[in-house]
């Protein structure tokens, strides 16, 4: 099995044999020695209700840490706050949910969180060789209670982009009971993709009303994640203007730096007309020769001010295998110039009065062999 070099700044002296601790799952996870130190997956999470015209995208981080025969998993939101912690006990191909906690923040600091433990009735989180697995759990929180019954119905192996993948699918019944109100029940069908050497790369959940898609965009060491999350007094999405592609121009936020909104707000700054308008803009102005047969993920992060002006662009770059790479300057500059010169941006609107504000935002181009095959977020 090929052991990938993981984003960001992960240096591996040599590819070691995968520990038997991971068992049947070992081909579909990074090397066990890396998991012992802790790895963090970054996902775009796209959600769409049937009443919405376009999806909304959030960011989620998931940390895996191997501790003997256990996987300790912590989920974080876009603000780097932990939202869930659970322990998977690996018994050969069977993964059992040993314990689980949810964290809810009723204040602004982590000291003001409440911790809720799950009551686990059936504990098979997933099974790597048998078709079926069953998990039942419940939680009692401050303002509501939940019950979840997840069933794994099928597993199958396939090849995607020349990599082995294992596909899991099943159903979930999720019940939410607000205090003194009737229970609401959601029936979902779900699919997961675990990719050779990379772990969980995609999760899809569908119901009559909701469609949620989670896709991997970055994989980093625990050390790199800690450095990123310890952003001090800066905003979560803070951009160092001295490193911007367009440094020196006359772009200015409308308000102070401390009042630039982060990109996980509900009504984010975005391209007017959505992805279709971005495609139309590219059709008019893109020169394919300047993409230089590149492949990988090229993300532009920038600010859209209250006037709908874009500036302070920086890039984050990786290969299709999430390895660090540097795109050619001509590719980066060409796409930047299109976004800067021809982009039409909609400012973030907040509050009941829908006041325009400055906001951080981002746009990712997925390229393969010199063609843009996907634009993220959705």
What would the DSSP string read from start to end of 35-53? HHH-EEEEEEEEEEETT-S
Quick one: CA torsion of 263, 269, 271, 273, rounded to 10 degrees?
120
Q: For position 236, what pLDDT does the model report?
A: 57
Say if residue 307 is preceded by a cis peptide, omega within 30 of 0.
no
**What's the pLDDT score for residue 7?**
40
Q: How far apart are CA 101 and CA 322, in angstroms?
A: 30
User: What is the pLDDT, as a whole number, of residue 19?
Assistant: 47
Check residue 59 and give its pLDDT: 87
Supply the pLDDT for residue 17: 42
Q: Which pLDDT belongs to residue 131?
A: 93
What pLDDT is stored for residue 116 in this prediction?
92
Spans in the chain with pLDDT lower than 50: 1-19, 233, 265-266
What gap in Å lies between CA 76 and CA 66, rounded to an integer?
Answer: 18
DSSP E strand stretches across 107-209: 113-117, 119-127, 133-140, 144-160, 163-178, 184-195, 199-206
Sequence ranges of the domains in the chain: 20-228, 234-376
- Residue 370 · residue 328 · CB < 8 Å: no
Return the DSSP state at 324. Answer: B
What mean pLDDT value characterizes the chain? 86
Which residue, 10, 5, 366, is CA-closest to 197?
Answer: 5
- Reading the block at residue 98, the tokens are 């040993």
CA-to-CA separations, 159 to 148, 164, 165, in angstroms, rounded: 31, 5, 6
**Cβ neighbours, 10 Å, residue 178:** 12
CATH of 20-228, one of 3.55.50, 2.40.360, 1.10.1400, 1.10.287: 2.40.360
- Rg of the chain in Å (alpha carbons): 22
Structure tokens at 283: 């059709």
Question: Are 89 and 67 spatial neighbours (Cβ–Cβ below 8 Å)?
Answer: no
Cα–Cα distance, 212 to 48 (Å, whole number): 7
What pLDDT shows up at residue 273? 81
d(C-alpha 331, C-alpha 283), whole Å: 16
């Amino acid at each position: 099995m090929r052991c990938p070099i993981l984003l960001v700044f992960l240096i591996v002296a040599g590819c070691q044999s995968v520990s038997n601790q991971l068992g049947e799952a070992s081909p579909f996870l990074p090397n066990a020695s890396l998991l012992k130190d802790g790895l963090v997956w970054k996902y775009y999470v796209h959600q769409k209700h049937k009443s919405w015209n376009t999806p909304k995208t959030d960011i989620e981080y998931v940390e895996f840490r191997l501790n003997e025969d256990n996987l300790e998993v912590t989920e974080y939101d876009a603000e780097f706050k932990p939202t869930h912690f659970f322990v998977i006990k690996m018994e050969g191909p069977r993964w059992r949910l040993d314990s689980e906690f949810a964290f809810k923040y009723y204040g602004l600091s982590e000291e003001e969180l409440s911790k809720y433990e799950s009551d686990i009735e059936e504990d098979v989180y997933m099974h790597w060789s048998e078709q079926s697995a069953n998990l039942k759990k419940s939680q009692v929180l401050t303002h509501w209670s939940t019950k979840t019954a997840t069933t794994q119905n099928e597993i199958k192996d396939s090849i995607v982009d020349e990599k082995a993948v294992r596909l899991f699918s099943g159903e979930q019944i999720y019940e939410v009971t607000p205090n003194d109100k009737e229970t609401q029940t959601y029936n979902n069908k779900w699919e997961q993709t675990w990719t050779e050497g990379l772990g969980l790369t995609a999760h899809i959940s569908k119901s009559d009303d909701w469609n949620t898609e989670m896709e991997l965009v970055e994989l980093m060491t625990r050390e790199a994640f800690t450095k990123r999350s310890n952003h001090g007094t800066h905003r979560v999405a803070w951009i160092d203007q001295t490193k911007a592609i367009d440094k020196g121009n006359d772009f200015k936020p409308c308000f102070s730096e401390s009042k630039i909104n982060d990109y996980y707000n509900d009504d984010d700054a975005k391209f007017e007309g959505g992805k279709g308008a971005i495609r139309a803009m590219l059709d008019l102005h893109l020169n394919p020769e300047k993409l230089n047969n590149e492949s990988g993920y090229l993300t532009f992060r920038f600010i859209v001010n209250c006037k709908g002006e874009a500036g302070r662009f920086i890039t984050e770059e990786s290969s299709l295998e999430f390895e660090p790479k540097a795109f050619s300057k001509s590719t980066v500059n060409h796409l930047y110039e299109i976004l800067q010169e021809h982009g039409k941006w909609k400012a973030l609107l907040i509050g009941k009065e829908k006041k325009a504000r400055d906001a951080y935002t981002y746009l990712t181009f997925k390229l393969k062999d010199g063609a843009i095959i996907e634009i993220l977020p959705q």
